[in-house]
């Protein structure tokens, strides 16, 4: 699961809001799909730039993530590295493309957990639920007392 960072939480919420308000969405387009829209927010690249970078290698986001190399200078690997730097994991990217992370789905009401990976409204719900989960984790980290703050009787 992603490292809860303010930057990532903000990017998820902004991406969800952009999609809700009509940002271009096309699941089969590497720059306009689920991961592509989040990548736009995190990297400030356009959907066309992201798509062009991805097309320098074969495959969809799952295949790009499988072939990711942190020392490569391929543009898509640099883009993925930037996303990982914001707190994401490679597994998060795979789950985002399919909307199937069980921890995130558990945040939704039971009747709303059956999301379709290529439906804009489902992507919005998933990203908002994910942002909420990460925010809860971040707040829990901030408010947990450290051992030296606990007084022993």
pLDDT in tens, 119-131: 999 999 999 999 9
pTM of the model: 0.87
Residue 148 lies in a domain: no
Residue 93 lies in a domain: yes
Number of domains the chain contains? 1
Residue 149 lies in a domain: no
CA dihedral 32, 35, 40, 46 (to 10 degrees): -40
Predicted confidence band of residue 150 (pLDDT cuts 50, 70, 90): low
Cα–Cα distance, 150 to 33 (Å, whole number): 47
User: In 3D, which of 113, 133, 136, 130 has the Cα closest to residue 16?
Assistant: 130
DSSP 80-123: HHHHHHTT--HHHHHHHHHT--HHHHTTS-GGG----TT-HHHH
Element (H, E) at 10: helix 6-20
Residue 126 lies in a domain: yes
pLDDT at 153 over 90: no
Q: Quote the domain boundaries for residue 40.
A: 6-143
pLDDT at 148 over 70: no
Residue 64 lies in a domain: yes
Arithmetic mean of pLDDT over the chain? 90
Predicted local distance difference test score (pLDDT) of residue 28: 83
pLDDT tens for 31-85 read: 999 999 999 999 999 999 999 999 888 889 999 998 999 898 899 999 999 999 9
Cα–Cα distance, 68 to 53 (Å, whole number): 13
Predicted local distance difference test score (pLDDT) of residue 2: 83
Residue 1 lies in a domain: no
The answer to whether residues 117 and 146 touch, using CB atoms and an 8 Å cutoff, is: no
Residue 43 lies in a domain: yes
pLDDT at 152 over 70: no
Residue 99 lies in a domain: yes
């Amino acid at each position: 699961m992603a490292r809860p960072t303010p930057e990532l939480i903000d990017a998820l919420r902004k991406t969800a809001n952009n999609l809700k308000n009509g940002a271009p969405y096309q699941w089969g387009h590497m720059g306009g799909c689920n991961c592509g829209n989040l990548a736009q927010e995190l990297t400030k690249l356009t959907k066309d730039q992201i798509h062009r970078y991805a097309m320098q290698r074969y495959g969809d986001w799952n295949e790009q993530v499988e072939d990711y190399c942190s020392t490569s200078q391929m543009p898509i690997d640099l883009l993925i590295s930037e996303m990982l730097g914001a707190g994401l994991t490679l597994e998060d990217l795979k789950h985002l493309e399919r909307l199937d992370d069980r921890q995130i789905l558990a945040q939704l009401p039971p009747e709303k957990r059956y999301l379709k990976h290529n439906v804009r409204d489902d992507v919005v719900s998933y990203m908002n639920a994910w942002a909420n989960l990460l925010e809860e984790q971040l707040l829990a980290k901030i408010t947990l007392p450290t051992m030296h703050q606990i007084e022993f009787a």
